A = this chain, B = another copy of it.
Amino acid sequence: MIIDIHCHYTTEPAALHTFRDKQLAGLADAARKPAAKTLADLAISDETIVQSLQPQLKLQKDRGSDLTIFSPRAAGMAHHVGNAEVSRQWTTISNDLIHRITQLLPDNFVGVGQLPQFPGVAPAECIGELQRLAELGFVGVNLNPDPSGGWWSGPPLTDRHWYPLYEKLVELRMPAMIHVSSCCNPNFHHTGAHYINADTTAFMQLIQGNLFKDFPELKFVIPHGGGAVPFHWGRYRGMCLAMQKKPLAEHLLNNVFFDTCVYHQPGLRLMTEVVPMSNILFASEMLGAVPGIDPDTGFHFDDTKRYIDGLDGLSADDRYALFEGNARRVYPRLDQLLKRRGR
């Protein structure tokens, strides 16, 4: 079974965008606020949702993946926009839409949710939504380490500010993917710099801290191959030693995992050379930042399964770990759900 742990819903029905425009227009002119308050009010039909997912389903089939862990559009979370109430309403509707997808096409999609973060608001305020997501069958969440949208005005992930949320994640056995959203700092292109920088930043914060001493069961997935981390694996191993921490693998690798959203063969090869196979989870982020065709190969840049298939010397155990086993271990609710369904 091949599980793609990182895809976002980037082909949303027009009604969702219309709602969002009205919601934000309402900030400037209350008369333009949407009448809709919930997903049900948007009256999006099952047919519309299923139709919108055809590109994803076609790629699943063409590329040979079986199940996608699916979350709202990452750049769409935009936690910094509006106010805390706007973020909360938008989060609820976005998550409810993912939930409907997982009900309509349960064999293809399992949900990961977004959180109602807002700059300056305590992460503890997200606990209610987290509990609701667990009850709806979501298996994890995306956690934005910079809800300010590129200004990095909040505290690092190791700060006690985040601890109440971590306690709940551990209680619910849900991992968090550390994923920023859109960026309003003109220095950082969102998918070309902000995403990759955030991955690198988060990992370095975790090296500096001792978070997993306090939360030995907490699990983070760092997307986009871990940003710059595998490329600078020697740097991070060396800094970890210089900071008198345990060796990098002991310090972080029981709790930190990377996905395979690296869009060329040499990158993925490097990653599997330096990161233990137990810490790499198959993903493509397809229909994401780089949906085009690589003129050098004739295949889509984000068809990451090809790069794994192109690796020399992967054992059957390695392939199982990468494509399925690690995902079941890092997302215990996914494993539970699959077992319940006899998979």
Contacts and interface: CB of A to CB of B under 8 A. Distances in A.
A200 B145 CA distance: 18
Contacts of A266: 233, 270, 273-274
Nearest to A233: B264
Contacts of A241: 292, 295
A342 interface: no
Interface string A297-317: 000010000000000000000
Interface in A253-303: 262-264, 266-267, 269-271, 273-274, 289-292, 294-296, 301
B208 A235 contact: no
Contacts of A64: none
Interface string A226-239: 01101111111111
Interface string A188-220: 110111001100110011011000000000000
Interface stretch (A44-52, A97-105, A122-130, A148-156): A148-156
A274 B289 CA distance: 20
A225 B189 CA distance: 20
A205 B189 contact: yes
A154 B186 CA distance: 9
Interface of A: 145-146, 150-152, 154-156, 185-189, 191-193, 196-197, 200-201, 204-205, 207-208, 224-225, 227-228, 230-239, 241-242, 247, 262-264, 266-267, 269-271, 273-274, 289-292, 294-296, 301
